[in-house]
Amino acid sequence: MSRISLVSIIIAAGSIAYMTGQQVQRASAIRIAPIEERDLTEAQREMLGSYAAQPGRTQQLFRICVRAPEMCRAWVAVTRSFGQLSMNAHDRELVILRTSWLCKNEYTWANHVPAAKRVGLSDEDILRIARGPAGWQGFDKTLLEATDALHTDQFVPDATWKALSASYSDREMEELVFMVGQYTFAAMWARSAGLPLEPGVTGFPK
């Protein structure tokens, strides 16, 4: 088989995978059961802070987190800091959704689609995030390319770094790296624990 034919097959396979939705290997059952919200102790609620403040709204990921208290306390502090980033909300949601797609993390993808829409990303934009950088222009394209590079190679190439740093401060560049790492970790955690989607959210595009 010629190299051109092989490349064509690979591209076609990738297109089919996109058109039929993200191909995700899932746990056969929940492996770490979230604690029922009504059963959270006062200490656990204190640990989660605002993430357990609204009755009926404490996400499953946080309700399994408390089973490892020391880790959970540190992780919640890091997660809370993501609300104080210098990166604007549009950029944050773009990176979070792209990382979630690349990591096959439907749980976090579904949780963040509403937030992405609130900061101005349309339904078509969200579909294009799944397709990757090729469907974008300007800084958004560069940001998605950096996200892809961090996912595949754990490294941002010089040209991409230079393009980003023309608009981003050193702090924002660091935040980007931390954000991809944070949501890669969340993917490992949610997927390996076998968490189903939260009620009322929509998963990957089909």
Given a cut of 80, whether residue 9 has pLDDT beyond it is no
Q: Which amino acid is at 171?
A: R
Is the distance from CB of 132 to CB of 99 less than 8 angstroms?
A: no
Rounded Cα distance between 173 and 87, Å, is 9
pTM of the model: 0.88
Q: Is 122 left (phi over 0), alpha (psi -120 to 50) or beta?
A: beta
Query: Out of 11-15, 55-59, 61-65, 196-200, which region has the weakest mean confidence (pLDDT)?
Result: 11-15
Residue reference for tokens 């996400």: 59
Q: Is the pLDDT of residue 8 over 70?
A: no
What confidence score (pLDDT) does residue 17 get? 42
- Domain 86-193: CATH superfamily is AhpD-like (1.20.1290.10)
Task: Give the single-character DSSP code of 142.
Answer: H
The angle subtended at Cα 127 by Cα 202 and Cα 192, nearest 5°, is: 50
pLDDT at residue number 21: 62
Q: What is the per-residue pLDDT across 103-161, written as a single tens digit (0 to 9) for each?
A: 999 999 999 999 999 999 999 999 999 999 998 999 999 999 999 999 999 999 999 99
What six digits make up the tokens of 78?
Answer: 């890091």
CB 126 within 8 A of CB 148: no
| Domain boundary assignment for the chain | 37-83, 86-193
